[in-house]
Amino acid sequence: MRRELFVNAMLRFCCGVVLLGLLLFLPAGTFDWWQGWLLMGVLFAPMFFAGLMMLWKSPELLRRRLNAREAEGAQRRVIASSGLMFLTAFVLAGLNRRFGWIVLPGAVSWVAAAVFMLDYLLYAEVLRENVWLSRTVEVQDGQKVVDTGFYGVVRHPMYLSTLLLFLSMPLILGSIPSLIVMLLYPIILRRRILNEEAVLLKGLEGYADYMKKVRYRVIPRIW
């Protein structure tokens, strides 16, 4: 069973590497693009080791993270919007490299990469705190409300993590056009969160009390 999970995870990992490489380097028209390789490295190296750790310590969590089939129609639309946003942002970054529309200093890429890696630590901690995390919006059998750690500060720390990760990506690539496209993500994220909270309110015992206890969804004292 664990071997099948490992094979499934590795296939998806390799497909992700190939797909992102195509989206970046084909529009760039060259492999001589260090920011593109930098993003590939900071994105996929931690992802690979995090996947191995989940396989070893929490295979059920890894299985849930690999499940991407949304039951909610609203969430399927959110996923489609996110996919289009990423495709556009990565292609624009490659074209920006090819044509030199707006070239940011190399230092910006390194600082953004450092922020990205630090945010991966937040991502890992949230995974550790909440064993019920899934890529799909659902209420699982036996699921309980998690209200400790980062979940005692905001209701959706995973989305705070993805917000920082995704907004760092275009800066790693040195692409202002891509950053402009990625600024759509908070709008998309809001739609996902509001639908997710409606699902949790309906199906997860104690979630209404948790919402009263933790007022902010993603960013403390803002939203």
pLDDT tens, residue by residue, 54-66:
777 777 766 766 6
Q: What is the arithmetic mean of pLDDT over 81-88? A: 94
The residue count of the chain comes to 223
Least reliable range by pLDDT among 8-17, 128-137, 198-207: 128-137
Residue 50 pLDDT: 78
Residue 49 pLDDT: 84
Percent of the chain with pLDDT strictly greater than 70: 89
- The pLDDT of residue 137 is above 80: no
Residue 124 pLDDT: 83
Q: Residue 115, exposed/middle/buried by CB under 10 A (0-12, 13-18, 19+)? A: middle
Residue 4 pLDDT level (bands cut at 50, 70, 90): confident
Q: Specify the DSSP element, H or E, that contains 180.
A: helix 176-182
- The pLDDT of residue 73 is above 70: no
CATH for 2-213?
Answer: 1.20.120.1630
- The pLDDT of residue 222 is above 90: no
Residue 136 pLDDT: 63
- The pLDDT of residue 77 is above 90: no
| H helix intervals, the chain | 2-28, 34-57, 59-66, 73-99, 106-129, 157-172, 176-182, 185-203, 207-213
- The pLDDT of residue 141 is above 80: no
Residue 101 pLDDT level (bands cut at 50, 70, 90): very high
Three-class DSSP category at 155 = coil
Q: Is the pTM of this model over 0.75?
A: yes
Residue 35 pLDDT: 98
